[in-house]
Every structure is written in structure tokens, then in C-alpha cells.
Amino acid sequence: MVMMPLPAVVRWLFTLLLLVPVWGADPPPRVTASLQTVATGVQVRLSIQDGWHLYWQQPGDSGLAPRLAWTLPPGWSAGAPRFPVPTRHVEADLVTFIHEGDLVLEVPLTPGPPSPGGVVAVRVDYLVCRESCLPGKVTAELPLTATGTLPAPGIPWPHTAPVDPAQAGITVTARGVGNDLLVTVQGQNLPTPPSHPVMPAVEGQFALLPPQVVQATATTWELRLTRSAGVAEPTRFSGLITGLGTTTVAVDVALGAMPAPAAETGGWLAAAAAGLLGGLILNLMPCVLPVLALKVLAFGKAREAGQGVVGPALTYTAGILTTWLTLGLVLLALRAAGLSVNWGYQLQEPLVVLALLVLFLALSLNLAGVFEIGLAATRVGGGRSGPFFNGVLTTIVATPCGAPFASVALAYAVGAPAAEALAVFAALGLGLAAPVLVLALIPGAARIIPRPGPWMEDLKRLLAIPLLAATGWMVWTYLALAGGPTSFVVLVGLLPLVILAAGAWGRFQIQGGRAALALTLAAVLGVFGLAAWTATQAAPSAASGHQEGPWEPWSQAREDALRTSGTPFFIDATAAWCLTCQVNKRTTLHQEAVAAAFARRGVVCLRADYTARDSAIAALLTRHGRASVPTYVLVDGKGRSSLLPDLLTPTIVLDALTPIPEKSP
């Protein structure tokens, strides 16, 4: 798992751990220091032993930058050191910025009154690292002239210094886009950006993962950086822009206060419209359709009985909206607390999946006639609370099902201000409630429902089939999350107990009797007991290993290597609990024609499995402006990325691959 930038305290603790094996030792000198005058002030040269390195001013995920302490004549002052361009180094999923060989620091020096016989001295405290790290300090002195002034400037020691944007003939601007930062580089004849064109200079502000290249032309780069979780919103961006030929540009710009453009976010109204459409499509998913069908049938019975339907339909809608807004508030609160979560966070908890498994199985057994609740859970009437909790139930059974357009809305919501985000979540709920609202509010709409009759019992049994399939899907999801002995309990313990409880309750409803009631209670207690037992087990982890066909696991290190080598690749961000993901695999990604097209173009297929919580995959989704799976990213050999739609077809993927040339035979 690729690590996000570590907080300062954690990074210090990590560095101290590196020092433990050598603490108290008397290491040989790995660094020597020299000092000379140059036209711009003074230079401090730190000569580093071969194989060892020092750190840049922003060390990265570990390490410490060299610190300079000056001894100066009275009235003299030294400014902050200017570091040369560092090297980005990745090892064991840690990203650091290092210097090897000679590290030459340029320091502005303001002389004061002459000081005959005086010296300018500097002490450098450093951390030098190879396999392990050694703390150390080194000093250097520069005697003043007989008149108490600096000696004549020497020949500057060579180093790769960054230049100002104007010297490179470019302009750089930056502005916030949701939780991210969009850096725009404009100039003439810009080359293709490298895999890591940005080095943030301020520790902890931005992720050290490679930024998303939103646009790369001969005149414009647009680079999107992910802001680190839990840090205050920056007002400036400081760092280095690399990849401009042999030039590296030093940037320090104020963030623009303009909102995100419509081309990137679409605005909250467009996101709400996508949410409304996505919520409407959710009604067609196998976990929701049976419940909706029973609700529609309940309208038919209510019409025959002369009951009103408008009030209960509005209460049902209120239940849906309350549940959607609650889930949205929890998501926004978790992200505000600094957790890397996206939509689907609830399905990354094994106990939530276990509860859904039991719910789907119980509903399917009811529809199959094993026990009877009639239309009580789905009727229009049922008092004031019945329709409300029916809306809650509808939302709960809908959460495992993704729908096209819903992911676009959710991607906007997780990065939008709270009011806009909640408006998008409300739109999703309204879309889910729309069929019932239409039947209730439009005069005569309920007449399209067939009259009740014995056929309704046969329809109920047919509707049990998709819910049984959804139950199997939840079992598979739970196995992917838990594995080991916990999954064994689900297969041979929990499921039979649920079936036993349903059967015993059905017998009690028909025949009565204490034995049937006692058996029902015992089986229900067994279900709760086993569920409680699973909560005491070690935290489950997603099953890793088997990858189908040419697919290999995604990691940030693997993506970085492919970008560096100019190899095209395709990322399938997926999860076991994502139904759309599984459909796309079977209908498109695992089709022979698609696999052959990938192979002909040398496209490496990467699968980012988000079944269990993974901060690196969460960052991947955020970097591409998404908040849920499925997410499909195609990156060509020049590092340019494009997003594919949620619902794939072979034609969509093959068309997206067309610009990538086939390999020579």
C-alpha cells in the first residue's frame, strides 16, 4: 500500500526508529562541509560519502532536512538556504526527496559593520542515510579579511539550481478544485510531462503520489494534486516543476480564489441531476426491484380498498431521504476527520455485509413463502411509521447496488461544500423514491397497476429469485472481506440458522405451538450469537491474491514504474460488493476481443481491489475525481489519462484503445 505523506510527529517517530540500531554509536564522518563567498552571498557545500544521501528541505515520508546554525559578527545576518533540485526516491512505499554526492546550499548573507579578525561559521545538523540513518553535525568557517569584510567571491560550486518561471519562459498558476489543487503551466513548445512533474516544497500539504495529468498540450499542462487529509487549506503553493527539458522551475504562487470550472465538476445542479437519474436507475437493480414491485402491488390493493396513498408515499420518501442524508453526513464526517473513505465505506465493514446478507436471505425466504409477513414491510398503509421504515429498508437494500450516473454525483458530493453535498445526496434519494411518488401524486397513474389476485403470490415467489441471487452475492462479498474461519461460520453456521428460524416461524404462524416458537427464538439467538462472535475475531482483510487472466494487482509503485517507462496501462478500480463492477468484468473486461486488444498494444492491466479499505486506492480515486467504484482509467504511453464510463461495453473499451499504437510484431 502506498503511504500518504506522514504527519510530522509520525515522521519523527519513524526517523527515531531508524536511529535505534546506531544510537549512541560514534559513526565515522559521512559528511564534510566547506564554505565560500559567492556573488549572491555564501555557499555551503556538504560532500556526502558514496552510497549515502541527505534530504531536501521537504524530506518526504521520512528523514530530516539539514539545519544550519550560524555564528556571525555583530550586526550580520543570514537568510534561509536555497536548496538545489533533489532526486525523488521511492523505497518500501516511502517517497523521499534526497541529495547524493555534493549538496550545495546557497545562503543570502547580509554583512554588517566590519569585524577585523572575525569569522563566519556555520554548524550543520544532518541525518545521513543508506540502509540505516546516522545523525551528525559538521562545521565550516570562513575567516574575514584584515579589514573585517568578506573575502572576494570564489568560483561557484556547481549544482542544479531551479530557475524562476520567467527565466524558463512559462507562467504558473494554482487554484483549489474541491479538495485538490490544480496547477496550470503555460508556455510554448512544452514537452510531454514526466510521471512526477511536481515536488511540493512544504511538508505535509499535498500527497507525494504522482499528480493526475488533466491536460498536456504543447502550450498547457494542467496537473491535479491531492491535498493531504486533515491539514488546513493552503493559501499558497510552493514547489518545483520538473520535466521542462533540462530546466526545473521553482514556484511560489498564491492560490486563485476562483471556483472549480464547470468542465471539471459540472456544478452542483448537474451533479444533483446525475444523482436523480442514478437514484431512479437504482430501482431496476436486483436488490431493489423486488421491494419496489411489492410496493407497487400494494398500491393496487390500496386502490381496491379505497385507501389514500399520497400521505404514506410522502412518508416513504421521507424515510428514504433521511437514510440517504444520514449516510452522506457520516461519509463527510469521516473524510473531515482525515480518513481516506469514499462511497461504499459501509460495505467495507464485514459486520455490515453480514447484516445485509441476513436481511436479503430473510426477505427472499419471505417472498418464497417460507414464512409470512405479507405486504407488511412494503404496504402503503401500516400507520405513520410503517412507510417511513419501508423507505429506510429500501435505501438499505439499495446501498450495495451501484448505478450509472450515481458515481458522478457522489464524486462531486464528497469534495463539495456540505450544503451542496447534501443536496446531491437528497437528489439520489428522490430518484430512488420517484416511482412511488409518481404513482401517488399523478392522478390516474395507479390505474396502470393490474388488479390484485392470486397471481400476486406467484409473482412474489418469482421476485424471491433476484433476492436469493443478491444473498449469494453478499456471501461472496463477505468471503472476500473475511476469509479464514470467520467465513466458515457464515457458510455452515449462520445461513442454516437463518433458514431454520424462518421455517420455524412459518410453522408457528400456521400451526402455533410453543415448540415452534421456542425453535424460532433459539435460532434467532444463534444468529445474533454467531454475529457477535465474528465481531471478536481479528480484523479481516481482503483476500489478495488470485488475479484473473492478464490482470495484476495495482500499486502506486507499479503505476509509477509504468509511467516512467512510458508503458500504457489500464486500471480497473473494483470491489467484490460492486455489482456494476462484476457485470463489466463478465461482459467486457474478460472478453477475448478486449484482452487481445490490450495485448496487441502492450497495455498492462492493473486491478485495484477496493473491497476492503485501502487509503492508496482511495487516493487513486480522489486523484481522478471519483468517489466510488467502478472507476476505469486508461493511461497512454505519454502519461495522458482518460476516464471511461461506469457501464462498459467492448466497443467503448476498444474505441478508447484506438489511439494507442499496436506493438511491432
DSSP string, 544-610: -----TT-EE--HHHHHHHHHHT--EEEEEE-TT-HHHHHHIIIIITSHHHHHHHHHTTPEEEEEE-
pLDDT at 367: 82
Instruction: Identify whether the C-beta of residue 660 lies closer than 8 Å to the C-beta of residue 636.
Output: yes
Q: Are 656 and 645 in contact (CB under 8 A)?
A: no
Question: Which pLDDT score, from 0 to 100, does residue 339 have?
Answer: 60
Q: Distances from the Cα of 440 to the Cαs of 289, 380, 444, in angstroms?
A: 18, 10, 9
Q: Give the end-to-end CA distance of the chain in Å, rounded to a whole number.
A: 36
Distance from C-alpha of 385 to C-alpha of 4, rounded to nearest angstrom: 45
> What's 102's DSSP letter?
E
* Exposed / middle / buried, residue 514 (Cβ in 10 Å: 0-12, 13-18, 19+): exposed
pLDDT of amino acid 260: 36
CB 107 within 8 A of CB 68: yes
What local confidence, expressed as pLDDT, does residue 362 receive? 87
Residue 259 CB: number of other CB atoms within 10 A? 12
How does pLDDT run across 513-537, given as a tens digit for each residue? 888 888 889 988 988 888 788 767 6
Residue among 264, 108, 118 at smallest CA distance from 184:
264
Residue 447: per-residue pLDDT: 67
Q: Which three cell numbers stand for residue 488?
A: 466458515
Asked if 225 and 183 count as a contact pair (C-beta separation under 8 A), the reply is yes
Query: Pick from 79, 272, 247: which is nearest to 163 by CA?
Result: 247
* Length of the chain measured in residues: 665
Q: In whole angstroms, what is the distance from residue 76 CA to residue 536 CA?
A: 65
- How far apart are alpha carbons 94 and 6 in whole angstroms? 10
Report the percent of the chain where pLDDT is more than 90: 24
Q: What is the pLDDT of residue 102?
A: 93
Architecture of domain 171-262: Sandwich (2.60)
Return the pLDDT at 49.
93
Beta carbons within 8 Å of 524's beta carbon, 6+ residues apart: 501
Summarize pLDDT for 266-305 with one digit per residue, the tens.
467 888 888 898 888 888 887 787 877 777 766 666 666 6
Mean pLDDT by 10 residues, the chain (665 residues): 44 48 54 93 94 92 90 92 90 83 93 91 93 89 92 91 87 77 86 84 77 77 76 78 86 62 54 86 80 70 68 87 90 69 75 85 85 52 66 82 72 76 90 86 70 72 84 83 71 85 86 85 87 68 53 87 87 88 90 93 93 80 77 86 87 92 81
Q: What is the pLDDT of residue 338?
A: 56
Class of domain 552-657: alpha beta
C-alpha 244/C-alpha 163 separation (Å) is 11
Reduced to 3 states, what is the DSSP secondary structure of residue 123?
strand
Topology (CATH level 3) of domain 8-143 = Immunoglobulin-like (2.60.40)
Which helix (H) or strand (E) covers residue 651, if one does? helix 650-657
Q: In what order do the strands lie in the sheet with 212-216?
A: 198-200, 236-244, 247-256, 171-177, 180-186, 220-226, 212-216
Q: Report the distance separating Cα 34 and Cα 43, nearest Å.
A: 8
| 37 closest CA partner among 139, 124, 157 | 157
CB 93 within 8 A of CB 3: yes
Assign 193 to helix, strand or coil.
Answer: coil
Indicate left, alpha or beta for 626 from its phi (over 0: left) and psi (-120 to 50: alpha): beta
Other beta carbons within 10 angstroms of residue 283's beta carbon come to 22
Alpha carbons 433 and 602: distance in angstroms, whole number: 46
Sign of torsion over alpha carbons 148, 149, 152, 155:
positive
Instruction: Report the candidate in 660, 638, 644 with the shortest Cα–Cα distance to residue 193.
Output: 638
pLDDT score for 229 = 61
Q: How far is CA 276 from the centre of its chain?
A: 24
Cell 455489482 locates to 579
Task: Return d(Cα 116, Cα 119) in angstroms, integer.
Answer: 9
For the CA atoms of the chain, what is the radius of gyration?
A: 31
| C-alpha to C-alpha distance for 397 and 394, rounded to whole angstroms | 5
Where helices occur in 283-309 by DSSP H, the ranges are 289-305
Residue 402 has a pLDDT of 65
Q: Domain map of the chain by residue range?
A: 8-143, 171-262, 266-350+372-463, 552-657
Cα–Cα distance measured from residue 639 to residue 338, given in angstroms and rounded to the nearest whole number: 29
Cα angle 398-401-404, degrees, rounded to a multiple of 5: 115
Q: What is the pTM of this model?
A: 0.55
Specify whether the backbone of 472 is left (phi greater than 0), alpha (psi in -120 to 50) or beta. alpha
Q: Do domains 8-143 and 552-657 have the same CATH topology?
A: no
State the amino acid at position 437 in one-letter form. Answer: L
List CB contacts of 385: < 8 A, sequence separation 6 or more.
none
In angstroms, the Cα distances linking 477 to 415, 542, 646 are 28, 10, 20
Residue 154 has, within 13 A of its CA and on its CB side, a CA count of: 14
The answer to whether the CB of 45 falls within 8 A of the CB of 57 is no
